[in-house]
Amino acid sequence: MKRNALYPFMFSLVLVIGIMLGFLIRGRSHQQISFVNRSAPDKVDEILNYIRYRYVDTVDIDKIYQDAIDEIFNDLDPHSAYIPADILRNVNESLRGDFEGIGIEFNVLDDTIIVVSTLKGGPSEALGILSGDKIITINDSLVAGIQISNADVVRLLKGPKGSSVNVGIKRFTSDTLIHYNITRDRVEVSSILAHYMVDSTIGYIRISQFGANTAREFHNALNELDTLGMQQLIIDLRDNGGGYLDAATDIADELLDDDKLIVYTEGRSYPRKNFYASRKGLFEKGDLVLLVNEGTASASEILSGAVQDWGRGTIIGRRTYGKGLVQDQIMLEDSSAMRLTIARYYTPNGKCIQRPYNKGVDAYNRDYMERLIDIYQTHDTAGSDTISWGIEPDIKLRADTLEVLGMIRQLNNRGIIQQYAYRFYGMHTDAYGRYKDPGDFDWRYQMKDQVYQGFVSFNTYTHSPVKQANLWKYQKEFRLALKGFIARQIFYTNGYYYFFNQLDPEYNAAVNYLKSK
């Protein structure tokens, strides 16, 4: 009985000892990931406090802190970075694939906010806001003709789900402002910019980045194209800056069979980790082309490297960016974060495609800018055979040299084609509901001569840098561009890329390659 009476005391003692050991272990673990030399950060704080309270002039201590942080990361690799709290949300939103706001894409043209398109499922689409609508007021404040910036537009229109904003819209068919009270909501943004059938057998998918929803969206796009008879596939990775590693490996799993190695990562404190194709993919057979260029980076290079190393498809374009470093995002106490490089990734054949950065971050960035000059001024293919970094295409392409494409870019940058297309679509919205997809629109819609003549006149009215004679000389190409912007209003980015890709020599090279097979 005495022994039984001691049980509660013994149990309590063991519990207390266990709690104390837990605190000790946790304290030691914290010390292991803290500063190696405690005096270093204390010294920095001490110096900054002296500056704060004793320096002869008033200084911005926060800026000095930021400068010190920047210098720390300048001594690391080019892709480790500190992200302030006010920027982090926007950075993460992009990869997460959604945001909270009113759900529109916009341009600021002639100092006026113009709705390029509403986003599917968003509150603006539900209320009936249309492409080409001009936003004149936001919450009764004038926003046209005041030199408003894109950042200011985002700040005014984005906001937490459930909050509301009132916009006054000028529409082509109305002489007065139309007011909409929009309740903000969570809006999904797809990273699959376009997916459609080029012809009866060739499918096309353009991926803008590898976000949280990209693998699912890619799977759905493949499924849809498969039901339409796809036998060959172009995946467009041009200017895709990467994103999540898992998204890239999941997409590679749709293309590779037999437990093939997709990529592996390895770092000083991180042992090798292999990523394999592990399930039956939707497109493990059939001709495959990946379109790449100098803006294809990181996760895009993982996918390209796996396809190339296994001989699963053909890489067409120009040498890729050369980013073979893996970052981990670490949250800090003030809700800011740092992205710290923790490992390198390697293609199945053991190649790390990282571009050298041993001369420092500034030299690394300068080297990339010099590459762009070579590509777009001398029309180089961006890389000799002696370069080991990046993904070297199987078929190398030079940058386009077509005169008409430069003219179309000029008009795009001035917003001239967009404005005419938005106005024309806004005046004839009801006429476009009968087209089922971009291909059907391309086949059945014939642009009348007076429509194109109207564009030529509008081009002259806006003091465009493109001469009227060139608009008639390259009438076929400019008509395609116009159809692309009209199709964007009907079919979103799918419609835009369907037509603008027809003007793209690199895209056409990929299509012709598959047709030759």
Q: For residue 304, give the nearest of 293, 290, 325, 316 by alpha carbon.
A: 290
Q: How far apart are CA 240 and CA 295, in angstroms?
A: 6
Paired tokens of 35: 């500063």
SS3 427: helix
- CA gyration radius, the chain: 28
Paired tokens of 125: 């689409």
Q: How far apart are CA 102 and CA 241, in angstroms?
A: 26
Q: How far apart are CA 130 and CA 124, in angstroms?
A: 8
Paired tokens of 409: 């870019």
| Residue-wise DSSP of 6-54 | HHHHHHHHHHHHHHHHHHHHHHHHHHHTS-SSTHHHHHHHHHHHHHHHH
* Burial track 327-347 (b if 16+ CB lie within 10 A, e otherwise): beeeeeeeebbbbbbbbbbbb
Q: How far apart are CA 142 and CA 187, in angstroms?
A: 26
| Residue-wise DSSP of 292-306 | E-TT--THHHHHHHH
Q: How far apart are CA 494 and CA 487, in angstroms?
A: 8
Q: For residue 121, give the nearest of 186, 203, 209, 42 by alpha carbon.
A: 186
- Give the residue numbers annotated as catalytic, written as ranges: 298, 309, 323
